[in-house]
């Protein structure tokens, strides 16, 4: 029995929902899951029954409610400090927080032009220039930190952290849109997609039948 309930959107499309869901799963924190299909009839009213922001994800812990992916994970990191949601080293933790905040508040061109759609793979896709700048910046974050922290583990800063949760939806996007990668970047993609929780998420997304038309873009060869 757990007091934690995570309200999320469609697993195929909801990138923000994936982040705290992965955090909870990776650290084996028990929780109840409520999935509300986005853009379905009455979906906004259903979300508002939980979240005052009218958005997912939303975490309910007894009488307490927390919304926004990063805020949820920060709360969980404080509630379960033994899980070590951030790197222990002060300087590494500062870097992890910086790249997480950068993802949280930026990369708008990537979001607009490359929506998360776990069920699709486009073999030919050329991002527009502004989205390509986002792609290159993200690849730089991965490669630079993987080179520096590779001896500590396979994640961005060696050991799994909130930073990996923040970038998990980008892994889905890079796979969907067949983004060209170097070996370090490919290894990171493989590490993330091999995670048991990600496999569970992808299997569930394949079972969903809802369609969000704006995320079902057509790519010209």
Q: Is 144 found in the same domain as 74?
A: no
Phi/psi of residue 5, nearest 5 degrees: -130, 130
Q: Is 110 found in the same domain as 66?
A: no
Q: Name residues of the chain where pLDDT drops below 70.
A: 1, 217-221
150: left (phi over 0), alpha (psi -120 to 50) or beta: alpha
Q: Is 51 found in the same domain as 66?
A: yes
Contacts of 60-65 spanning 24+ positions with Cβ under 8 A: 60/3, 60/4, 60/5, 60/6, 60/7, 61/3, 61/4, 61/5, 62/3
Q: Is 53 found in the same domain as 118?
A: no
Query: Among the three residues 35, 61, 83, which one is the final residue of a domain in this structure?
Result: 83
Query: Among the three residues 83, 100, 115, which one is the final residue of a domain in this structure?
Result: 83
Structural domain containing residue 146: 90-206
Whether 215 maps to a domain, the answer reads no
Can you give the pLDDT at residue 21? Answer: 99
Can you give the pLDDT at residue 220? Answer: 41
Can you give the pLDDT at residue 214? Answer: 82
Q: Is 103 found in the same domain as 57?
A: no
CA–CA separation, 55 and 66 (whole Å): 11
What pLDDT, in 10s, does the model give residues 146-194? Answer: 999 999 999 999 999 999 999 999 999 999 999 999 999 999 999 999 9
Whether 169 maps to a domain, the answer reads yes
**Number of structural domains found in the chain:** 2
Q: Is 131 found in the same domain as 61?
A: no
Query: Among the three residues 62, 83, 104, which one is the final residue of a domain in this structure?
Result: 83
Q: Is 146 found in the same domain as 62?
A: no
The tokens describing 209, both together, are 């039948």
Can you give the pLDDT at residue 216? Answer: 85
Whether 189 maps to a domain, the answer reads yes
């Amino acid at each position: 029995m757990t007091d934690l309930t995570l309200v999320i959107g469609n697993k195929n499309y909801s990138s923000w929902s994936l982040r705290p869901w992965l955090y909870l799963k990776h650290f084996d924190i028990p929780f109840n899951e409520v999935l509300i299909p986005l853009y379905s009839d009455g979906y906004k009213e259903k979300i508002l029954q939980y979240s005052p922001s009218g958005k997912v994800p939303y975490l309910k812990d007894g009488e307490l409610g927390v919304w926004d992916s990063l805020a949820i994970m920060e709360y969980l990191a404080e509630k379960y400090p033994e899980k070590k949601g951030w790197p222990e080293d002060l300087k590494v933790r500062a870097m992890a927080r910086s790249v997480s905040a950068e993802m949280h508040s930026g990369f708008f061109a990537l979001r607009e032009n490359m929506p998360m759609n776990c069920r699709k793979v486009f073999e030919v896709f050329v991002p527009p220039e502004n989205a390509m700048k986002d792609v290159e910046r993200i690849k730089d974050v991965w490669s630079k930190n993987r080179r520096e922290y590779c001896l500590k583990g396979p994640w961005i800063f060696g050991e799994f952290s909130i930073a990996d949760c923040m970038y998990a939806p980008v892994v889905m996007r890079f796979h969907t849109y067949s983004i060209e990668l170097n070996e370090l970047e490919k290894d990171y993609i493989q590490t993330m997609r091999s995670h048991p929780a990600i496999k569970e998420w992808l299997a569930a997304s394949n079972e969903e039948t809802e369609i969000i038309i704006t995320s079902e873009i057509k790519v010209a060869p």
